[in-house]
């Protein structure tokens, strides 16, 4: 290895070692800025802003859950939603363990049109 290459590799190793030593001592500083920096906001004003934001987010979601999505399947919940443009109303199965809505699209023969609770499946009921 020639002398120039040896010096370059040695310099790189020294720089990396110094960098690792500085990391181990925790000398890294992040400049954190608040969303409302520069404005005089009281705690009550910040709480009111946050409450309004939560209400705005939650106002877009209103899915009243009904009993059973299918009379043969226990433990399912359903909600009535509109899909498409123009929208068609469907009862979807709600997976309560996640944020997924299931639209039943499988074709079946002799499918029930209503549940035991009297809820219309798909668009069979007028």
The pLDDT tens digits for 20-53 are 766 666 666 667 777 767 777 788 888 888 888 8
pTM recorded for the entire structure: 0.29
Cβ atoms of residues 39 and 49 within 8 Å: no
CB neighbourhood size of 94 (10 A): 20
Give the CA angle between residues 122, 66, 126 to the nearest 5°: 35
> Residue 81: which domain range?
63-126
Bridge partners of residue 77, in order along the sequence: 94
Task: Assess whether pLDDT exceeds 50 at residue 59.
Answer: yes
Is residue 88 a part of any domain in this protein? yes
Is residue 34 a part of any domain in this protein? no
Q: How many domains, in total, are found in the chain?
A: 1
Is residue 98 a part of any domain in this protein? yes
Is residue 123 a part of any domain in this protein? yes
Is residue 103 a part of any domain in this protein? yes
Is residue 32 a part of any domain in this protein? no
pLDDT of residue 62: 62
Is residue 40 a part of any domain in this protein? no
Is residue 6 a part of any domain in this protein? no
């Amino acid at each position: 290895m020639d002398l120039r290459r040896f010096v370059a590799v040695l310099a790189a190793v020294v720089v990396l070692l110094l960098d690792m030593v500085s990391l181990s001592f925790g000398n890294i500083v992040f400049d954190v800025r608040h969303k409302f920096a520069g404005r005089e906001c009281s705690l009550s004003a910040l709480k009111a802003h946050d409450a309004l934001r939560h209400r705005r987010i939650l106002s877009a979601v209103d899915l009243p859950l009904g009993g059973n999505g299918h009379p043969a399947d226990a433990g399912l919940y359903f909600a009535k939603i509109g899909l498409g443009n123009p929208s068609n109303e469907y009862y979807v199965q709600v997976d309560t363990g996640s944020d997924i809505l299931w639209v039943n699209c499988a074709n079946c023969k002799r499918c029930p049109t209503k549940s035991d609770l009297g809820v219309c499946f798909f668009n069979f009921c007028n």
